[in-house]
């Protein structure tokens, strides 16, 4: 635990140093570029320069969002409006410039740049200054104070005036104390810097609501399209499979009725064929029902349904389910078919030798991870199966994340907000 704290404090100090040097310089440059470009719009030059300047501002803000996520686990969603559609008769550069200036997120970015130059820079400095004092205090006590004082230097270590070995020792003790304090305050101050950025770089409540409405509209359309496609599949399977077999059974029975007195042997033969055909039709109906909602899912829940699914695969699948209860039936069905698709992809395309399925529920979220040791290279943008999983989960505000570097392994994680009932 202590080693971990030392590591986190050291990283916070290094990152704070980077932010305190690069942050203000970058903020001043892009802010000046943006303000000057906007000021030159009336003379025409700004129409060309402003989109470039504001893209630079957004790029700088995007870099800070990435740092916040990677360095402190602070998620800062992007609040920007989508790019405008080109309208006939309106110059593209004018429309783009107007769209960027109309976006409230643009002005919040400029406000953040001002805050980052001042309060943000101060927090970054504070996150690393304790670490620097920790190093400088013992260095002074080791004798470095002597050439400084003997050559007329006026060395102060915070509030300690270093004039001799005793005061240098006090400085070393204070430096060590600051180092101990920095183990706790350094990472916290860095996180506070990123939370300050989130306050201005994140979407406003109005924008969050608009994004929520957009997502719900999109997932509603996807759900409707998926339901329509599923109905067409069911109709096609019934028409080409069970329905055709049942029609054949009916025709066979009509023939048996005609042959019952004339040719009993042939009638018995047709009855046996009709019995076989009816059994095949019943099997197809069971498969169709299983594809709509597997009986084991309804009877025993998501965990046992995934275990039963794993037993039917040609690869060894290790299943670890840490679920204290059951979710609502629609959520379980969405999670089950998502896992089914991910397992099918792993079997068909990955060349894997083993698959691991882990599931847990924490923080109101059902989280399922499917990992295989295959060749990797899975791409959300490239496969219709993964996009279908995304659409199915999107109807429940769920998400799919895939990590699949070339050479593997592939890790696909689905998250669904839900509550479990015991």
Task: Report which of residues 234 and 318 the model is more confident about.
Answer: 318
Q: What is the dihedral of CA 125, 127, 133, 138, to 10 degrees?
A: -150
For residues 372 and 305, state if they share a domain. yes
Task: Report which of residues 107 and 177 the model is more confident about.
Answer: 107
Neighbours of 18 (CB within 10 A): 14
Contact criterion met (CB below 8 Å) for 416 and 401: no
Domain boundary among 201, 235, 270: 201
Which domain does 176 fall in, by range? Answer: 2-201
Tens of pLDDT along 259-277? 667 777 777 777 777 777 6
For residues 341 and 272, state if they share a domain. no
Tens of pLDDT along 373-397? 888 777 666 555 677 777 777 777 7
Residue 178: CA atoms inside 13 Å, Cβ hemisphere, count?
A: 22
Task: Report which of residues 289 and 372 the model is more confident about.
Answer: 372
Mean predicted lDDT score pLDDT of the chain: 77
Of the pLDDT bands very low, low, confident and very high (cuts 50, 70, 90), residue 285 is low
The whole-number pLDDT of residue 90 equals 45
Tens of pLDDT along 27-50? 999 999 999 999 988 888 888 888
Strand ranges, E, within 260-398: 317-322, 355-362, 365-372
Q: 104-115 and 45-72 helices cross at what angle (nearest 10)?
A: 60
Residue 256 included in any domain: yes
Under DSSP, is residue 414 helix (H, G, I), strand (E, B) or coil?
A: strand
For residues 137 and 36, state if they share a domain. yes
For residues 195 and 212, state if they share a domain. no
| Residue ranges in 103-204 assigned as alpha helix (H) | 104-115, 121-139, 145-150, 165-201
The whole-number pLDDT of residue 92 equals 65
Task: Report which of residues 75 and 157 the model is more confident about.
Answer: 75
Domain boundary among 268, 292, 316: 292
| Separation of alpha carbons 78 and 93, rounded Å | 23
For residues 154 and 237, state if they share a domain. no
Residue 335: CA atoms inside 13 Å, Cβ hemisphere, count?
A: 32
Strands 317-322 and 399-403: unpaired
Q: Which of 354, 387, 381, 384 is nearest to 370 (CA)?
A: 354
Under DSSP, is residue 380 helix (H, G, I), strand (E, B) or coil?
A: coil
The whole-number pLDDT of residue 170 equals 78
Q: Which of 289, 363, 302 is nearest to 338 (CA)?
A: 302
Residue 422 included in any domain: no
Span between the terminal Cα atoms of the chain, in Å: 35
Tokens describing residue 353: 């030798």
Task: Please state the rounded mean pLDDT for residues 245-256.
Answer: 68
Task: Report which of residues 307 and 135 the model is more confident about.
Answer: 307
Under DSSP, is residue 190 helix (H, G, I), strand (E, B) or coil?
A: helix
For residues 115 and 256, state if they share a domain. no
Please state the pTM of the whole predicted model: 0.54
| Separation of alpha carbons 250 and 186, rounded Å | 80
Q: What CATH number is associated with residue 401?
A: 3.30.565.10
Domain boundary among 292, 322, 350: 292
The whole-number pLDDT of residue 205 equals 72
For residues 350 and 371, state if they share a domain. yes
Q: What percent of the chain has pLDDT over 70?
A: 76
Task: Please state the rounded mean pLDDT for residues 211-222.
Answer: 63
Under DSSP, is residue 30 helix (H, G, I), strand (E, B) or coil?
A: helix
For residues 146 and 60, state if they share a domain. yes
The whole-number pLDDT of residue 218 equals 63
The whole-number pLDDT of residue 210 equals 66
Residue by residue, DSSP assigns 255-292 as HHHHHTTT-HHHHHHHHHHHHHHHHHHHHHHHHHHHHH
For residues 66 and 191, state if they share a domain. yes
Residue 407, φ and ψ in degrees, nearest 5? 95, -10
Residue 252 included in any domain: yes
Tens of pLDDT along 76-124? 888 887 766 655 544 467 778 888 888 888 899 999 999 998 888 888 8
**Over 60: is that where the pLDDT of 209 sits?**
yes
| Separation of alpha carbons 287 and 282, rounded Å | 9
Task: Please state the rounded mean pLDDT for residues 213-237.
Answer: 61
**Over 70: is that where the pLDDT of 58 sits?**
yes
Tally of structural domains, the chain: 3
């Amino acid at each position: 635990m202590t080693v971990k704290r030392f590591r986190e404090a050291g990283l916070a100090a290094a990152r704070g140093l980077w932010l305190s040097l690069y942050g203000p310089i970058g903020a001043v440059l892009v802010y000046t570029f943006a303000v000057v470009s906007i000021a030159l719009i009336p003379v025409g030059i700004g129409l060309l320069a402003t989109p470039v300047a504001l893209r630079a501002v957004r790029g700088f803000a995007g870099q800070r969002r990435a740092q916040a996520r990677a360095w402190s686990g602070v998620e800062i969603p992007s609040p920007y409006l989508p790019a405008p559609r080109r309208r006939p008769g309106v110059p593209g550069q004018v429309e783009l410039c107007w769209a960027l200036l109309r976006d409230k997120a643009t002005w919040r970015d400029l406000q953040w740049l001002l805050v980052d130059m001042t309060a943000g820079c101060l927090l970054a400095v504070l996150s690393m200054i304790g670490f620097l004092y920790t190093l400088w205090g013992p260095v002074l006590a080791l004798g470095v104070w002597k050439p400084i004082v003997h050559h007329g230097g006026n060395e102060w270590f915070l509030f300690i005036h270093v004039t001799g070995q005793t005061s240098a020792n006090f400085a070393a003790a204070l430096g060590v104390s600051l180092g101990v304090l920095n183990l706790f305050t350094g990472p916290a101050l860095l996180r506070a810097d990123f939370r300050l950025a989130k306050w201005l770089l994140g979407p406003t409540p109005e924008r969050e609501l608009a994004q929520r409405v957009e997502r719900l509209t999109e997932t509603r359309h996807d759900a409707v399209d998926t339901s329509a496609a599923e109905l067409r599949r069911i109709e096609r399977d019934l028409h080409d499979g069970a329905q055709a077999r049942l029609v054949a059974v009916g025709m066979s029975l009509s023939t048996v009725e005609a042959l019952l007195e004339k040719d009993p042997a042939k009638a018995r033969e047709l009855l046996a064929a009709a019995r076989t055909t009816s059994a095949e039709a019943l099997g197809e109906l069971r498969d169709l029902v299983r594809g709509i909602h597997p009986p084991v899912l309804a009877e025993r829940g998501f965990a046992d349904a995934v275990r039963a699914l794993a037993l039917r695969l040609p690869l060894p699948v290790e299943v670890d389910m840490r679920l204290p209860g059951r979710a609502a039936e629609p959520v379980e069905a969405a999670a089950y078919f998502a896992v089914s698709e991910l397992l099918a992809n792993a079997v068909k395309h990955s060349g894997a030798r083993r698959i691991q399925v882990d599931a847990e529920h924490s923080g109101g979220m059902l989280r399922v991870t499917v990992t295989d040791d295959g060749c990797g290279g899975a791409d959300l943008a490239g496969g219709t199966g993964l996009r279908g999983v995304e659409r199915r989960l999107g109807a429940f505000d769920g998400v799919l994340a895939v990590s699949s570097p070339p050479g593997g392994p592939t890790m696909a994680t689905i998250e669904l907000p839900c509550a479990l009932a015991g």
